[in-house]
Copies of this chain bind each other. A is one copy, B any other.
Amino acid sequence: MATQSLPRENAISELSQFLGERLTTSDAVRDQHANGECGVYEPQPPDAVVFPRSTEEVAEIVRVCALHGVPMVPYGVGTSVEGNVTAPHGGICIDLGEMNNILRVGEADLDVTVEAGVTRKQLNQHLKDTGLFFPIDPGADATLGGMAATRASGTNAVRYGTLRENVLGLTVVLPDGKIIKTGGRARKSAAGYDLTRLMVGSEGTLGVITEVTLRLYGIPEAISAAMCSFPTLEGAVNTVMLTIQSGIPVARMELLDDVQMAACMSYSKLDYAPDNTILFEFHGTERSVEEQARQVGEIAAEFGGSDFRWTGTTEERNALWQSRHDVLYACFALKPGCMVWATDVCVPISRLAECLLETKREIDENGLLAPIVGHAGDGNFHVGFLLEPGNEEELAKAKSVNDHMIARALEMGGTCTGEHGIGIGKIGYMEAEHGDAVEVMRMIKRSMDPQNLMNPGKVLVL
C-alpha cells in the first residue's frame, strides 16, 4: 500500500487546498460513506470524502483525481442496496449532498432542473404550490442524481415510467474533468446518440451526474387508493396481470405477500388482515378514477379478492403508503438484529405468477424468512432475505435462492434487476443476461474512462 498511497496523498492534499473543510478523511465520515443500505456487502470506505458545491468544483475534483490516477465514487445519500457506492479500491468519495439547489422550475413546460443532490421529497415539497409533482418514488428519499445514475423507478413507474423515461437532460462531469450537457428541454429529439439514456443507469461508472432536468406532471384532479386481500398469492398476481393486460392505467399496484403484510401491519400498527394484499392507487379525473377502480374491483373479485376497500381519506391513504414504504424497517422489526438483503428481478408480466410462486416455494423449502413485495404492475418484485449476521449457512441458502430466481427471470426474458442496479451485487449476472453485449459496454467504458477511475469495480468486470 505504501507505494500506492502516494498519489492518493498528493490528490488529497491538492483537493484540500481548494475545498478546505469540505474534504475530510475522518474515520466517521469515511465509514458513513463505505456502503449503501445493504448489510450483506462489506463496507469499503474511501480514503477521503469531498463535498463540492458546484459542477465546476466537481470538474476540478475529477481533474485532480484523474491526474493522480485516484478512483472516484459519486455518492448521493447512500440508499442504494447492491453495493453501488462502496469503495473497493478506496479513493475519493464525491458526496453531492451539498449540491441541493433547485435551479429552475418550468411550470409552462412541465419540467425542472435540479442539482444532483436534491432529494425527491425536497423537490416535491418545493413544487407543492405549483400544482405539479415528480411522480417517481423508489421508497427511500433518494437524491435525483442517484436515482438517475441507478435508473430508479418504484411504485409509480407502472403509470409514469422510470428515470429512463423521465430524464430530459443531464449535466455530466466526464472522467477527464470535462463538463458536458446531454439532451435538452425539448420533449423529443432525433439529434445524435442518446447520451442521456447512456448515462442514466451507468451508476457513476462513466462520469458524475451533477444536474438533472426532469419531466413533471400535473397533480391529478383525483387520487384514490384501494386495497384488496387474496386467499392465494396466485390470485393476487393474476389480478395484477389481467389489470395490466386490460390497459387500465393504474398509478400504483403494489403486491405484498402474507409475510410482508404481517410485518408491515405489525410495524405500522395498522389493523388490515395479514393476507396477500394488493395496494392500488388511481390517478385521473373524478370520473376516470371511479371507472378504473370499478374495473379493477371486478377483476379482483374474479380471482377471489375480498374486501376491495377504498381508503377514503388522505390520512388513511398516506398511512397505508407509509406502511408500504417502511417495508425495510418492518423487516428489521420482524427479526430483531437481522440484516436485510433486498434483491429484485423483473420479468414479462405474463410470467410473473410463475416466477414469483416458484421463488416463494424455494424460500419456504429452505426455511428462510424472506418477505416479498413487488411493483407487480411492471413485473418487478423484491425479496428481502432476513439474515442472522454471521450465519453462513443461512446466507448460502439465500444466495442459492437468489441465484435460482435470477436464472428463472432471465430464462423468462426478464432481467437480473428491475431497479436496484448492478453495483457489485449483480455484477456476476451481466454475461448471463446480456451475452456479447457486455463487451460493447466494456468498449464504451474503456473509451470514456481509460484509467478505470469512475466507480471502479461496479457494473462491469473489465
Contact = CB atoms under 8 A, between A and B. Distances in A.
A325 interface: no
Contacts of A291: 285, 287-288
A18 interface: no
Contact of A440 (B180, B200, B244, B246): B180
Contact of A186 (B174, B346, B435, B436): B346
Contacts of A162: 188
A291 B244 CA distance: 23
- The bracket for how many chain A residues form the interface is 35 or more
A187 interface: yes
A195 B284 CA distance: 34
A265 interface: no
Contacts of A430: 191-192
B153 A418 contact: no
Contacts of A187: 346, 348-349, 378-380
Nearest to A446: B447
A45 interface: no
Given A164-B194, A165-B165, A193-B198, A346 B188 contact: yes
A333 interface: no
A241 B110 CA distance: 11
Contacts of A153: 188, 190
A299 B194 CA distance: 35
Contacts of A324: none
A194 B198 contact: yes
Contacts of A206: 193
Contacts of A202: 193
A405 interface: no
B419 A188 contact: yes
Nearest to A375: B188
Contacts of A460: 192
A188 B150 contact: no
Contact of A245 (B108, B152, B435): B108
Contacts of A349: 108-109, 187
Contacts of A429: 191
Interface stretch (A36-44, A252-260, A308-316, A408-416): A408-416
A198 B201 contact: no
A190 B241 contact: no
Given A218-B247, A437-B180, A443-B448, A419 B195 contact: no
A181 interface: yes
A245 B109 CA distance: 7
B435 A181 contact: yes
A195 to B, nearest CB: 6
B413 A180 contact: no
A382 interface: no
A152 B189 CA distance: 9
A347 B420 CA distance: 33
A81 to B, nearest CB: 11
Contacts of A251: none
A328 to B, nearest CB: 18
Contact of A198 (B110, B188, B198, B436): B198
Given A187-B349, A189-B415, 18 more contacts: A106-B348, A110-B245, A151-B188, A164-B197, A186-B346, A186-B347, A186-B379, A186-B414, A187-B348, A191-B417, A191-B422, A192-B433, A218-B247, A285-B288, A287-B291, A288-B288, A288-B291, A447-B447
The 9 residue pairs across chains A and B that have the minimum distance between CB atoms: A197-B197, A185-B413, A108-B350, A189-B415, A218-B247, A447-B447, A180-B437, A186-B346, A109-B348
13 contacts: A108-B241, A108-B348, A109-B348, A110-B245, A151-B194, A180-B440, A182-B437, A187-B346, A188-B415, A189-B418, A444-B444, A444-B447, A444-B448
